[in-house]
Structure 1
Amino acid sequence: MGSLTSRASRASVMANSTDIQQFIKDAVSQEKVVVFSKSYCPYCKLAKDVFNKVKQPIKVYELDERDDGTAIQENLAHITGFRTVPQVFINGNCVGGGSDVKALLDSGKLQPMLIG
């Protein structure tokens, strides 16, 4: 009986993980710029400030303010290969974190990514 319970628990976790992955895929495909952030993180603030500076609307998910924030962050790690925040997506592609976005701005590569 114990093995049935553990299998049921694993199935529930897997379904939840699948739901979270679908949420992430939907989120990054529906908006030009998506930032998975934590409200207190200075690198997250840096990323958000960059987009504010170039007047680019963004969709921000503050993971520390969501009940499923830890699960989203864990699933992002599987998708992108890194667990840190922010995780910034432009046109559905992960471009990195706060320092990466700032470097894209400074090099002149950010604006072309935001067009189209």
Structure 2
Amino acid sequence: MDKVLKVISENGLVIFSKSTCCLCYAVNILFQELGVRPCVYEIDQDPEGKEIEKALMRMGCDAPIPAVFINGNLVGSTNEVMSLHLSGSLIQLLKPYLQTLT
């Protein structure tokens, strides 16, 4: 749990992911297309990955991955992120993290 909290506290926008997960990939691409660069933490690349999954579940994630945190708050997994996007609310949450294009 400490590792999860550390990553969340050090990054405003975090996706806990697995490199082989197509839903994680889809959420990551959505964020990139919206103009943000999340910290993507690949839990399958961490020897403590199983413990991280359990910690995410204890924090309230229905599905352990992808687990999206914005400004330290759990947004949820794919369904929650896509629902926010379709309602137009996601972009409001991401405003502080939008990349300025020059």
Shift of 1:99: 2.6
Residue 50 of structure 1: how far off its partner (Å): 1.1
Tell me, which stretches of 5 or more residues in structure 2 are unaligned? 97-102
Scaled by the length of structure 2, the TM-score of the pair is: 0.84
Rounded to whole Å, the distance in 2 between the matches of 1:78 and 1:60 is 20
Q: 1:47 to 1:81 in 2, by over 3 A?
A: closer
Q: Deviations over 1:33-68 (max 9, x none)?
A: 101111111111111011011110110111111111
User: Does the aligned pair in 1 maintain the 2:13–2:38 contact within 8 Å?
Assistant: yes
2:85 maps to a residue whose letter is L
Task: Note the C-alpha offset of 1:29.
Answer: 1.8
**Counterpart of 2:2 in structure 1: which amino acid?**
Q
Kindly report which structure 2 residues correspond to 1:9-88, keeping only aligned pairs within 5 A, or say none: 21-88=1-68
Once the two structures are superposed, the pairs formed by residues 85-100 of structure 1 within 5 Å of their partners are 85-100=65-80
Q: Which runs of 4+ in 1 moved over 2 A?
A: 81-84
Contact 1:37 1:63 in 2 (8 A): yes
Give the paired residue count.
96
Judging by fraction of residues, say which structure has more helix.
1
Tell me how far 1:84 sits from its aligned partner. Answer: 2.7
Q: Which runs of 5+ in 1 are unaligned?
A: 1-20
Tell me the distance in 1 between the aligned counterparts of 2:78 and 2:25. Answer: 8
**CA positional deviation for 1:23:** 1.6
Code of the residue aligned with 1:31 in structure 2: it is N
Query: What letter matches 1:98 in structure 2?
Result: T
- Give the aligned CA root-mean-square deviation in angstroms: 1.4
Corresponding residue for residue 102 of structure 1: 82
